[in-house]
Amino acid sequence: MDSPHFSAAAVDDEIMEQMRDLHLRMHRLFNELLKRAGASVAQLKLLDLIDKWGVVRSADIAEALGQAPRTVTDALDGLERDGLITRIVDAKDRRAKRISLTEAGHKVRRDAAPVREAYMVQLLDVLSADEKASYLNMLHMLNERLVEMGAPPVLGAGAEGTAIGES
Which segments within 35-113 are labelled E, that is strand? 56-57, 85-89, 97-101
pLDDT greater at residue 38 or residue 155: 38
* pLDDT value of residue 153: 83
Q: Where are the alpha helices (DSSP H) in the chain?
A: 8-36, 41-53, 58-65, 69-81, 103-124, 129-148
The mean pLDDT value of the chain amounts to 89
Full residue range of the structural domain in which residue 47 is found: 9-148
Report whether pLDDT(152) > 50: yes
Does 40 fall in a domain?
Answer: yes
DSSP code for 68: -
Report whether pLDDT(157) > 60: no
For the whole model, what pTM was predicted?
0.77
Does 163 fall in a domain?
Answer: no
Does 157 fall in a domain?
Answer: no
Does 154 fall in a domain?
Answer: no
Query: Helix, strand or coil for residue 6?
Result: coil
Contacting residues for 13 by C-beta, under 8 A, at least 6 apart: none
Does 82 fall in a domain?
Answer: yes
Does 59 fall in a domain?
Answer: yes
* pLDDT value of residue 134: 98
pLDDT digits (tens, 9 = 90+) for 115-134: 999 999 999 999 999 999 99
Domains identified in the chain, total number: 1
